[in-house]
Chain A
Amino acid sequence: MALPKRIIKETERLVAEPVPGIQAIPHDDNLRYFDVSIHGPAQSPYEGGVFKLELFLPEDYPMTPPKIRFLTKIYHPNIDRLGRICLDVLKANWSPALQIRTILLSIQALLGAPNPDDPLANDVAQRWKEDEPGAIATAREWTQTHATP
């Protein structure tokens, strides 16, 4: 099936005007599959880390949201051990007017502002609420071990 114009345009723009701190490169053999890397935002425990993600645009895209997963291990209350992300715009609040770039920006923002009240990884969220400095230290440690190139 031919690639929809929307995907072609989005890809072109991602390459031509990349978002600072975010990189998304489509696979040569599958233009719906992207290798993504996101830099940890400044003043967050993820600062200095580069996190790898995979992104896939399903058949119905943009009517249905893209599928995104962290490949790099990360200590975060809204991201579970398998790298799945709990983010409203990836689910119920998806709108076809959103784009890959906006979604990736949302994920970057999520790294800067973890939300332990709507957890995906329960143990992490609990620690985050009970012992925030400890949790942040662990997040920083994990960033050091897993996300530093």
Chain B
Amino acid sequence: MRPLRLLAAEFPNLACEQLTATDKASSKPKKLHLKPSEGAADSHTEQPPLSPTSSQRLPTLPNNLTVAEERPAKRSHSSTSTHPHPTGDHETDEEVAFSPAYDALVENEPKGKMSEMSDDDFLSGGSDDDFMDESMDSDFEEEDGTQYLDDKDDKPQKKAYEVDFTVLTEGEIKKAQSDAIEESCAILALTPENAAVLLRHFKWNKDRMIEQYMDGSQKLLEEAGVDLTGSNKPELKTVPGFMCDICCEDEDGLQTFSLRCNHRYCADCYRHYLSQKIKEEGEAIRIQCPSDGCKVLVDPKSITMLAGVGVLSRYYELLNRTYVEDRENLRWCPAPNCEFVVDCPVSQKQLHEIVPTVFCTCGHHFCFGCGSNDHQPCPCGLVKKWLKKCEDDSETANWISANTKECPKCQSTIEKNGGCNHMTCRKCKHEFCWVCMGPWNEHGTSWYNCNRYEEKSGIDARDTQAKSRASLERYLHYYNRYANHEQSGKLDKDLYIKTEKKMTMLQSASGMSWIEVQYLDAASKVLQQCRQTLKWTYAFAFYLQRNHLTTIFEDNQKDLEMAVEALSELFEKPTDQLANIKVEMMDKTAYVSNRRVILLDTTAKGLQDGTWEFTVEF
């Protein structure tokens, strides 16, 4: 929700920029930042009427590219720029006035264009430095933003990348089980114990259970280990002249136990056996009679009677665990020591069209499909492939084939690290030409200049090498960026502590309150989130076919990445400057966050509609 809430803060900025850009010659964006003072008031008042049409003036794709290239130049102006920023002075009614414009954009504009416009906006945001005196207003923005969000509530708020889920506690899990048991009891006229055993046997698939129960109950009951007769109440007995086959004890008055199969053992051995099965082997519903080859299951009643407190609590825990594992719509939160369960209707079959990221109450967010950390927008199948590829040594081989050749005579692998094309194999002393791989003595007098370059064997060799090199470079391109964000993500663990320290320092330096410095925390959270997303966009992009959708995706990706870098740069500024860039930072935070939403949303929609074309099956 956060991105939407902050949208309002960004928006006026955006509308203003569109206006100024069209007022001035749009081909000279730099001017706009250098002489902006006149436009400020006008743009401010004219914003609402202009915004809805602003989409028509979106730069086309090539323009966008140019703009992006100009960015560094623009940024360098940022310190001297006097372009006024409207963020500080908008009021609630203005916010509302903007929303139709935004709606129109969201509804009518292809995402690619949307991103371009926002990109422009981002640029201007990056160069506005001098509204820091208005920074106090910014707290209202968020409130206004919330309101703005409420205004839009008549439309569905769920984004394409979001999934429905609920977080359940252990109590709720138990309740769900007892509810299911109760219901089955009523339908099949079974005791709760038997119903529970039967349900577990059918992995809590009530319908299938009832169906099969109706078909032929006796065999089914035996299979599941249900005893309907009720004659064998679990009890401890002393049997005269008994010797336990497990421990060989035979003293009088020995307590013994057996299931309906009459394999009788002493109570101590039975307890020991159950504790071994439950505590060491983690078995709960499939514990068989200790006798060799006997398939009779130890029923819960007997376990309750025999097992000690410690073993029993573990037993119940295991029952709960089996319940969660048996249900496809449930998954434990994988965070350490977290005991919540997430209930999400996304099935394994849907995983190629949706990336179900869920947020546990403990704060951990993870993929419901595979249990690993959030990897939106990349689907689970691609994540698996990508990680395998990264781990594989195949890329080493790829490197070798791209960077080395083999000696034509002794087949030693050679990497040429400089010098001329006259190679002498260190191993077999064979002399050959690096270009055509032919023997050097055939080169006659054309030393150091292979004139056999066009010969077929040479071309073939070059082609194979070029292909291999291209694929390697492609992989490395994506991998480096992926690894970069992963590394940054790892450093983010320290970032949290750093942020807190910064916030404290800023408080004492600027006299702002704790609430007022929260924007740093917000920025750091958004940064982390975006890095995580960016990381996986590279894995995703690696497997995409080259087509126009991919181009749009990469544009979106680039926008987000640049925005993230810009925000990151602001974030790293020394404390004494931080107070002055508060509004700018909040703007950027909102912008970055919005870019992420757009990227995820378009990607998720594409996955759902099956419009992405991948280079691999997954």
- Does A62 sit within 8 A of B, measured CB to CB? yes
- 17 contacts across the A-B interface (CB closer than 8 A): A4-B247, A5-B248, A5-B249, A6-B246, A62-B247, A63-B276, A93-B292, A93-B293, A95-B290, A95-B291, A95-B292, A95-B293, A96-B246, A96-B265, A96-B273, A96-B290, A97-B245
Interface size counted on chain B using CB atoms at 8 A? 16
- Does A27 sit within 8 A of B, measured CB to CB? no
Chain A neighbourhood of B389, CB < 8 A: none
- Does B272 sit within 8 A of A, measured CB to CB? yes
Instruction: Please encode chain B, from 518 to 533, with 1 for each CB lying within 8 Å of some chain A CB and 0 for all others.
Output: 0000000000000000
Please tell me if the beta carbons of A60 and B276 are within 8 angstroms of each other in the complex: yes
Chain B neighbourhood of A96, CB < 8 A: 246, 265, 269, 273, 290
A95-B290, A96-B290, A97-B291 given; A63·B272 CB < 8 A:
yes
The distance from the CB of A96 to the nearest CB of chain B, in whole angstroms, is: 5
The distance from the CB of B296 to the nearest CB of chain A, in whole angstroms, is: 12
- Does B263 sit within 8 A of A, measured CB to CB? yes
Per a CB cutoff under 8 Å, which of A5, A64, A89, A102 touches B247?
A: A5
Chain A neighbourhood of B265, CB < 8 A: 96-97
Chain B neighbourhood of A137, CB < 8 A: none
**Docked CA distance A64–B63 (Å):** 73
Closest to B275 in A: A63
**Docked CA distance A97–B261 (Å):** 14
Identify which of residues 286-303 in chain B touch chain A, using a CB-to-CB cut-off of 8 Å: 290-294
Identify which of residues 29-65 in chain A touch chain B, using a CB-to-CB cut-off of 8 Å: 60, 62-64
Closest to B294 in A: A95
Chain A neighbourhood of B248, CB < 8 A: 5-6, 8-10
Please tell me if the beta carbons of A97 and B247 are within 8 angstroms of each other in the complex: no
Chain B neighbourhood of A82, CB < 8 A: none
How many residues of A sit at the interface, in one of the four size bands? 10 to 19
A4-B247, A5-B249, A8-B248 provided; 7 other pairs, C-beta below 8 A? A6-B246, A6-B247, A6-B248, A62-B246, A96-B269, A98-B292, A102-B292
Chain A neighbourhood of B272, CB < 8 A: 63
Identify which of residues 248-294 in chain B touch chain A, using a CB-to-CB cut-off of 8 Å: 248-249, 263, 265, 269, 272-273, 276, 290-294
Closest to B245 in A: A97
**Docked CA distance A10–B290 (Å):** 18
Closest to A98 in B: B292
Please tell me if the beta carbons of B263 and A97 are within 8 angstroms of each other in the complex: yes
Chain B neighbourhood of A62, CB < 8 A: 246-247
**Docked CA distance A65–B269 (Å):** 15
Identify which of residues 62-104 in chain A touch chain B, using a CB-to-CB cut-off of 8 Å: 62-64, 89, 93, 95-98, 102
Closest to A63 in B: B276
Chain B neighbourhood of A4, CB < 8 A: 247
Task: Give B contacts to A, CB under 8 Å.
Answer: 245-249, 263, 265, 269, 272-273, 276, 290-294
Chain A neighbourhood of B276, CB < 8 A: 60, 63-64
Q: How many A-B residue pairs have CB under 8 A?
A: 39
| Residue among B247, B249, B291 with the highest chain A CB neighbour number at 10 A | B247
Which 8 A/B pairs are nearest by Cβ-Cβ distance? Answer: A95-B292, A9-B248, A63-B276, A6-B248, A96-B246, A5-B248, A97-B291, A6-B247
**Docked CA distance A34–B276 (Å):** 24
The distance from the CB of B273 to the nearest CB of chain A, in whole angstroms, is: 6
The distance from the CB of A4 to the nearest CB of chain B, in whole angstroms, is: 7
**Docked CA distance A97–B272 (Å):** 13
Per a CB cutoff under 8 Å, which of A63, A93, A98, A102 touches B273?
A: A63
| Residue among A62, A93, A96 with the highest chain B CB neighbour number at 10 A | A96
**Docked CA distance A95–B248 (Å):** 15
Chain B neighbourhood of A93, CB < 8 A: 292-293
The distance from the CB of B507 to the nearest CB of chain A, in whole angstroms, is: 60
Chain A neighbourhood of B263, CB < 8 A: 97
**Docked CA distance A60–B245 (Å):** 15
**Docked CA distance A96–B276 (Å):** 11
Closest to A89 in B: B292
**Docked CA distance A93–B276 (Å):** 14
Please tell me if the beta carbons of B246 and A97 are within 8 angstroms of each other in the complex: yes
Chain B neighbourhood of A63, CB < 8 A: 272-273, 276
Chain B neighbourhood of A9, CB < 8 A: 248
Closest to B244 in A: A6
**Docked CA distance A64–B279 (Å):** 13
**Docked CA distance A35–B290 (Å):** 27
**Docked CA distance A108–B272 (Å):** 30
**Docked CA distance A4–B247 (Å):** 7
The distance from the CB of B288 to the nearest CB of chain A, in whole angstroms, is: 8
| Residue among B247, B248, B272 with the highest chain A CB neighbour number at 10 A | B248
**Docked CA distance A97–B245 (Å):** 6
The distance from the CB of B455 to the nearest CB of chain A, in whole angstroms, is: 47
Closest to B263 in A: A97
**Docked CA distance A89–B292 (Å):** 9
**Docked CA distance A102–B246 (Å):** 13
Please tell me if the beta carbons of A97 and B290 are within 8 angstroms of each other in the complex: yes
The distance from the CB of A105 to the nearest CB of chain B, in whole angstroms, is: 12
Chain A neighbourhood of B294, CB < 8 A: 95
Chain A neighbourhood of B273, CB < 8 A: 63, 96
The distance from the CB of B431 to the nearest CB of chain A, in whole angstroms, is: 44
Chain A neighbourhood of B290, CB < 8 A: 95-97
Closest to A13 in B: B248
**Docked CA distance A63–B291 (Å):** 12
Closest to A7 in B: B248
**Docked CA distance A64–B247 (Å):** 13
Chain B neighbourhood of A102, CB < 8 A: 292
Closest to B246 in A: A96
**Docked CA distance A89–B291 (Å):** 12
Chain B neighbourhood of A60, CB < 8 A: 276
The distance from the CB of A41 to the nearest CB of chain B, in whole angstroms, is: 21
The distance from the CB of A57 to the nearest CB of chain B, in whole angstroms, is: 13
**Docked CA distance A64–B265 (Å):** 16
A60-B276, A63-B273, A63-B276 given; A97·B249 CB < 8 A:
no
**Docked CA distance A93–B290 (Å):** 10
The distance from the CB of B248 to the nearest CB of chain A, in whole angstroms, is: 4
Chain B neighbourhood of A89, CB < 8 A: 292
**Docked CA distance A4–B291 (Å):** 19
**Docked CA distance A96–B248 (Å):** 11
**Docked CA distance A5–B248 (Å):** 6
**Docked CA distance A64–B277 (Å):** 10
**Docked CA distance A35–B458 (Å):** 69
Chain A neighbourhood of B291, CB < 8 A: 95, 97
Chain B neighbourhood of A95, CB < 8 A: 290-294
Closest to B276 in A: A63
The distance from the CB of B261 to the nearest CB of chain A, in whole angstroms, is: 12
**Docked CA distance A20–B249 (Å):** 27
Chain B neighbourhood of A64, CB < 8 A: 276
Closest to B272 in A: A63
